[in-house]
Structure 1
């Protein structure tokens, strides 16, 4: 990177601190420049770069890298950073601020494990886990859906609105029977906001906010908050 690009990244990280700053590196008329973008995340633990900001940067030139800061944290890539870098197909530059340590990661074929992955809403969350299980175990590509932070408290009923579009039908209110059944649960929310994959033998795979993804026994509390069981029909 050019020194002036690094200086622009530093200035943006300082201006956004203590929130994460995010932006894009663009080659415009043969010259490299940093394009600051908005962070649309509602919290401080991650960033969300709006699609319209990405589109605006593309209008300027070729987007060649993604940039974001880690306020008061090392520049080491998180699991969500690694997954998102793979999805973007381009390098990611991470600036620890105010420590001022800049590191770069590039796509390398990384895949998050099904069990033990870190939570990052919209990147590594309960629906991502469902999609990854179907891709790995069934070679089925489920559609992804845009979802803002805390959507279940914003009047959105995303799971119930989109499950048919994803190829699922409702088969029960509270009793999964086949491996691959998806269990929709209502966890301290006015709408179903948590999903798990039934693995058979009384076990499920799921990912709670703030915890690592895990394989747990289905029953008890989880059955009490179950609102719908879905089965993939294609």
Structure 2
């Protein structure tokens, strides 16, 4: 389960709209309590994919490390990553499944014609190697 404040989700949506038609991506920052990922903020990342950025994203490992170190200094953790699916549903692609890592929540935002229309959360099942839907709670 992931809990995310509506204001953080709004900010993520704005970031995804601004980067449309490319896939936007970034980090979900917060803490884990009793297995629940509680997001307190997000940090946008640069899509460093060298191919079609309208269909793929890649977070540079050095950027990941820098954000992780900054986050840990603040007493928080990277609890997940987000990315947009321009003009596509908010479900994992085969590429998403192949590149998912354990312990992170994946928030996918469907952006249609520049407007975010759907959000879904996913987590890797380490037995099947596939992303499975995770419960997403939006906090007011």
Q: Say what the alpha-carbon RMSD is for the aligned residues.
A: 2.0
The reply to whether residue 49 of structure 1 matches residue 59 of structure 2 is yes
The reply to whether residue 34 of structure 1 matches residue 38 of structure 2 is no
The 1:79/1:4 distance shift into structure 2, 3 A limit, reads same
The 1:111/1:53 distance shift into structure 2, 3 A limit, reads same
The 1:10/1:92 distance shift into structure 2, 3 A limit, reads same
TM-score normalized by the length of structure 1: 0.44
| Runs (4+) off by over 2 Å | 82-85, 109-112
TM-score normalized by the length of structure 2: 0.71
Query: Please, which runs of 5 or more residues in structure 1 have no aligned partner?
Result: 113-234
Equivalent of residue 104 in structure 1, options 93, 109, 121: 121
Q: Which structure is higher in strand share?
A: 2
Q: What's the counterpart of residue 137 of structure 1?
A: none
The reply to whether residue 63 of structure 1 matches residue 81 of structure 2 is no
Deviations 1:121-176 (A, max 9, x none): xxxxxxxxxxxxxxxxxxxxxxxxxxxxxxxxxxxxxxxxxxxxxxxxxxxxxxxx
* Partner Cα separation in structure 2 for residue 70 and residue 58 of structure 1: 24
Query: What is the DSSP-based 3-state SS (H/G/I as helix, E as strand, rest coil) of the residue aligned with 1:68?
Result: strand
The reply to whether residue 84 of structure 1 matches residue 102 of structure 2 is no
Aligned residues: 110
* Partner Cα separation in structure 2 for residue 49 and residue 31 of structure 1: 19
